[in-house]
Amino acid sequence: MKKKEGILVVVILLLLVIGIGIFLFYNNSKSKNENNEIKNEYTPQEEVTEEQLQNTIISLYFINKETKEINPEARTIKVNSLIENPYKYLIEQLIEGPKNEKLEKGIPENTKLNNVELKGDILYIDFSKEFIENAKKGQKNEEKIIETIVKTVTELNEVNYIKILIDGKENEAFNDKEVTFENTFPRD
């Protein structure tokens, strides 16, 4: 009798193991089919063109004509415009001015960019004398000019500060001496 009970226990355990094995096999194959179905159901809405891969979006900062606050203007540009000297490109775009009619440029009229150079995390920007001669007078106006430049170029991760030079000279200031260029300007 004990022999029959032992065989019965072994048979029950064997059936239990087989049942668990079938259950696990069934669930595993079912989840694989569900994963395949999900993968097969995805279709992109739009193919990415070669031209789209060559474009990027940059933010340039200008002065709002109504509120006098600094506002970003997003622009889609060709990536290779930034490859050689991204700092020069961004500042040249600031000098050109905004595309949006509600914004005005901060950099004074007829200003030319003499040179731009990154040293460590400081971007040295050398402007022509028109930068100080043609600037709108007053501390707030002058600070807005600086802020448009700082916010734009510090969008690049490697730039944390800017240093302004006028025709290669340090320690210059706007004509009314409200804002000087003795120190670097950080992004707030």
The answer, yes or no, to whether residue 43 has pLDDT greater than 70, is no
Q: 58 near 75, Cβ under 8 Å?
A: yes
Crossing angle for the helix pair 139-153 and 86-96, to the nearest 10 degrees = 140
Averaged pLDDT, 121-128? 96
Name the residue ranges covered by the structural domains of the chain: 9-38, 52-186
Look at 15-19, 139-143, 165-169, 173-177 and tell me which has the smallest mean pLDDT: 15-19
Question: Tell me, what amino acid is at 36?
Answer: N
- For residues 100 and 87, what is the distance between their CA atoms, to the nearest angstrom? 22
Share of the chain above pLDDT 90, in %: 57
pLDDT at 84: 84
The SS3 assignment for 162 reads: strand
Spell out where 4-134 has E strands: 55-64, 70-78, 103-104, 113-119, 122-127
Q: 187 near 160, Cβ under 8 Å?
A: yes
pLDDT at 32: 54
Q: What are 168's two structure tokens?
A: 């290669």
Averaged pLDDT, 46-72? 83
The model's confidence at residue 38, banded by pLDDT at 50, 70 and 90, is very low
- Mark residue 68 as left, alpha or beta (left: phi above 0; alpha: psi -120 to 50; beta: remaining): left
pLDDT at 51: 60
Apex 124 CA angle, 119 and 184, nearest 5: 95
pTM equals: 0.71
pLDDT at 20: 76
